[in-house]
Structure 1
Amino acid sequence: MASTKIHIGKFNFENCFMNAAGVYCFDREELEKILNSEAGTFVTKTATLSPRDGNPTPRYQDVPLGSINSMGLPNLGFDYYLEYLLELQKTHPDRTFFFSLVGMSPEDTHTLLKRVQESEFNGLVELNLSCPNVPGKPQIAYDLETTEKLLTEIFSYFKKPLGIKLPPYFDMVHFDQAAAVFNKFPLTFINCVNSIGNGLILDDETVLIKPKDGFGGIGGEYVKPTALANVHAFYKRLNPSIQIIGTGGVLTGRDAFEHILCGASMVQIGTTLHKEGPEAFKRITEELKAIMDEKGYKTIEDFRGKLKYL
Structure 2
Amino acid sequence: MNFTSKIGSFKFENPLMNASGVWCDDKEKLDELKNSSSGSFVTKSATPQMREGNPSPRYIEVPLGSINSMGLPNLGFDFYLNYSLKFQENNPGKVNFISIAGMKPEENLEMLHKINDSDFKGLTELNLSCPNLPGKPQIGYDFEATELILKQAFEFFNKPLGVKLPPYFDMVHFDQMAEILNQFPLAYVNCINSVGNGLYIDTENESVVIKPKDGFGGIGGAYVKPTALANVRAFYTRLNKSISIIGCGGVESGKDVFEHLLCGAEMVQVGTHLMRNGTLVFDKILSELAEIMEQKGYKNIKDFRGKLKSL
Further displaced range: 127-136 or 83-92: 127-136
Q: Is the 8 A contact 2:132 2:139 kept in 1?
A: no
Q: Deviations over 1:66-116 (max 9, x none)?
A: 000000000000111111111111111121100000111111111010010
Matched letter for residue 201 of structure 1? Y
Q: Deviations over 1:124-161 (max 9, x none)?
A: 00110013799977310111111111101100000000
1:285 aligns with 2:280: no
Instruction: Indicate the RMSD between aligned Cα atoms, in angstroms.
Output: 1.4
Partner of 1:49: 48
Which consecutive unaligned segments of at least 5 residues does structure 1 have? none
Distance 1:134 1:89, change over 3 A: farther
Do 1:132 and 1:217's aligned partners in 2 also have CA atoms closer than 8 Å? no
Aligned to 2:123: 124
- Partner residue of 2:242? 241
1:172 matched residue in structure 2? 171
The one-letter code matched in structure 2 to 1:173 is V
- For 2:213, the equivalent position in structure 1 comes to 212
CA–CA distance in structure 1, aligned partners of residues 40 and 263 of structure 2: 21
Contact 2:15–2:266 (Cα < 8 Å) also in 1: yes
* TM-score of the superposed pair, with normalisation by structure 1: 0.98
1:23-80 Cα distance to aligned partner (Å, 9 max, x none): 1001110011111111011100001000000000000000110000000000000111
Counterparts of 1:237 and 1:152, CA distance in 2: 20
Q: Does structure 2 conserve the Cα–Cα contact (< 8 Å) formed by 1:133 and 1:197?
A: no
The one-letter code sitting in structure 2 at the alignment partner of 1:79 is D
Would the aligned equivalents of 1:19 and 1:270 in 2 still touch at CA under 8 Å?
A: yes
Query: What does 1:184-263 align with in structure 2 at a 5 Å threshold?
Result: 184-204=183-203, 205-263=206-264
Aligned residue identity for 1:196: V
Counterpart mapping for 1:58-77 below 5 A: 58-77=57-76
Please tell me whether residue 162 in structure 1 is matched to residue 161 in structure 2. yes
1:203-229 Cα offsets, whole Å, 9 max, x none, are: 111101000000000000000000000
Which blocks of at least 5 consecutive residues in structure 2 are unaligned? none
Matches of residues 139-154 of structure 1 in structure 2 within 5 Å?
Answer: 139-154=138-153
Residues 258-279 of structure 1: CA deviation (Å, up to 9, x unaligned):
0000000000000000111000
Runs (4+) of structure 1 exceeding 6 A deviation are 132-137
The TM-score normalised by the length of structure 2 is 0.97
* Aligned mates of 1:87, 1:235 — CA distance in 2: 33
| d(CA) in 1 for partners of 2:89, 2:185 | 28
Q: Cα–Cα, structure 1 residues 74 and 136, in superposed 2: closer, same or farther, change >3 Å?
A: farther
> 1:86 maps to which residue?
85
Paired residue total: 309
